[in-house]
Structure 1
């Protein structure tokens, strides 16, 4: 399977919105927007992302839109994030997409966060060189409760 990143197109946004509303994906991600069904808030978020200095990319697998990956935040505190359609989980798509994103963004350190029980995401991040730097607790909108969170760091 060929995984590539490209600029986000307007036509990608309905796909991202559908993916973000998958209940199983939401539970795994845990730290999501408060109301994923609010299309106006979703559109406003992506308008802000696309007009900022953040780096957002669409993830394609064999030409199909299967998710997104981004680097956002203030210099010195920038974080990576990614979302891959559940139909593509376990096929190396997230790892390939993150590796490609990291070649586009040479600045270090970079940070990432994941629910402590999201073993798949933690594996993706560790395969790409991120190392656990701290554990914490945070409110997970998708689960409606405070849960354990892992913060990882990718050093230069």
Structure 2
């Protein structure tokens, strides 16, 4: 399977919105929008980040839109995030996409956060060179509770 990243197109947004509303994926991601089904809030969020200094990419698998990846935030505190459609989990797509993204964005350090029980995402981050540096607690909208998260850092 060929994995590629490209700039986000307007036509990607309905796919991202659908992916963001998968109940199982929401639970796994944990730290999600307060109301993922609020299309106006989704559109406002994407309009804002597309106008920012964030590096936003669409993840393609054999030419199909399967997710998104981004680097966002202030210099010295920039974080990575990614979302892959649940139908494509376990195929190495997130790892390949994140590796390509961090290769494209040379600044370091980069940070990431994942729910402590999200073994898949933690494995993806570690394969891409991120190392756990701290544990924190944060309110997870998708779970309606405060949960433990792992903070990770990429140095080189």
The interval holding the TM-score normalised by the smaller chain is over 0.9
Give the TM-score normalised by the residue count of structure 2.
0.99
Render the CA deviation track for 1:94-153: whole Å, top value 9, x for unaligned.
Answer: 000000001110000000000000000000000000000000111000000000100000
Detail structure 1 runs of 4+ shifted over 3 Å in the superposition: none
RMSD over aligned Cα atoms: 0.4
Where does the alignment leave 5 or more consecutive residues of structure 2 unmatched? none
Q: Please list, as runs of the form range in 1=range in 2, the aligned pairs for 1:24-39 lying within 5 A after superposition.
A: 24-39=24-39
Name the structure 2 match of 1:142. 142
Matched length: 156
Structure 1 residue ranges without an equivalent (≥5): none
TM-score (norm 1): 0.99
The equivalent residue for 1:110 is 110
1:13 aligns with 2:13: yes
Take 1:4 and 1:59, find their aligned partners in 2: how far apart are those partners?
6
Cα distance between partner residues in 2 of 1:147 and 1:103:
31
SS state at 1:33 partner: coil
- Indicate the residue corresponding to 2:130 in structure 1: 130
Distance 1:145 1:68 in 2: 26
